Amino acid sequence: MSFADDPDERRAQAGEYVLGTLDGETLAEFETALAIDADLRAEVGAWQDRLLGLARRAPPLVPPPALWARIATSIGGAEARPASALASATPSPPSAATPTSTPPAPIFAPASAPTPTRPPAAPRWWQRLGFWQGASAVAALAVLALATLLVLRPPAVEAPHYLALLQAPGGAEVGWVVEARAGGSLRLVPLAPALGGTPLPAGRALQFWTKPEGAAGPTSLGLVAAGTALTLPVSGLPALGERQLFEITLEPVGGSTLGRPTGPVLYVGRAVRL
């Protein structure tokens, strides 16, 4: 990044990011840097608090009761968290009710994302155009950056090689990277302070899942420790291919007892072939 070596430029850009005046390429570059630069995230966090008092220049306005009802419906009623993106393997039928679910997203194509079994009253996060547009733009840039690094290495093996960036739903933050080589091993590497940040809620664990494109359901790849890399033999996966879904969900200690994700999705992404 052009501002990497100029502390004032980093500070000012972090402030402008919070302010909302970064746009276009500058914004995209900044968000890519944010995904891999913990100090920059700290600066953004500090700016969020520094400028917060300005929010009180806008006079409060009491929301109508119907607004809470809409929000409660969208998050799946009173208690149920939105189901995991992997929880239902039902292929998404063409539906006039979710016209925004097919953005041109090269990496995360929601057209093939599963649909929840109950009819949603409002689009789920993975059906929302804004999320996928934002996520795919950031992911595309990050993939480009990582792919460049990988390409610069001498090609040791010719086996197909895959990469997936796991992002927080609705956010630009890349938390984990999955790298796998056919016939070799899969590595899951933490990037962000990956849930790293907040301590895990008591009685909860992180579980790693995968669902190959077209597979009937997700397969658990085991529990992972926050901020800790994991290496697995690819032979333990149901398959390995392009657009394969990987995700990390919050589950009870010991993992989901139902053989499928039950908790909220913390990070999710699809594999691209390098």
Partner 1 sequence: MPITASFDHETALVACARGDAQAFRDLYDHEGRFLLGVAIRIVRQREAAEDVLHDAFVQIWQKAASFDARLGSGRGWIYTVVRHAALNHLRRTQREISTEDGALEVLLDAAVPVDASDDLDTGSLERCLGLLDEPRRRSIVHAYVDGYNHAQIAARMQAPLGTVKSWIRRGLLSLRECLS
Name the residue nearer to partner 1 (CB basis): 81 or 273: 81
User: In the bound complex, what is the minimum distance in angstroms from residue 240's beta carbon to partner 1?
Assistant: 27
CA triplet 187, 191, 196: central angle to 5 degrees?
110
User: In the bound complex, what is the minimum distance in angstroms from residue 150's beta carbon to partner 1?
Assistant: 26
Name the residue nearer to partner 1 (CB basis): 44 or 147: 44
Query: What one-letter code names the amino acid at 13?
Result: Q
Residues of this chain that interact with partner 1 (CB under 8 A) are 8, 11-12, 15-16, 18-21, 23, 41-42, 44-64, 67-68, 70-72, 74-75, 78-79, 81-82, 122, 125, 128, 130, 134, 168-171, 173, 175, 193, 195-198, 201, 204, 250, 263-264, 266
Name the residue nearer to partner 1 (CB basis): 53 or 154: 53
Neighbours of 67 (CB within 10 A): 10
Nearest to 181 by CA among 237, 100, 104: 237
Name the residue nearer to partner 1 (CB basis): 72 or 229: 72
Name the residue nearer to partner 1 (CB basis): 62 or 156: 62
Question: Distance of CA 205 to CAs 14, 115, 142, Å?
Answer: 32, 25, 27
Neighbours of 202 (CB within 10 A): 6
* 170: region left, alpha or beta (phi > 0 left; psi from -120 to 50 alpha): left
User: In the bound complex, what is the minimum distance in angstroms from residue 218's beta carbon to partner 1?
Assistant: 19
Q: Which residues contact 236 (CB under 8 A, 6 or more apart)?
A: 221
Strand order in the sheet with 245-252: 219-224, 204-211, 245-252, 265-273, 161-167, 174-181, 185-190, 230-233
Q: Which residues pair with 230 in a beta bridge?
A: 188
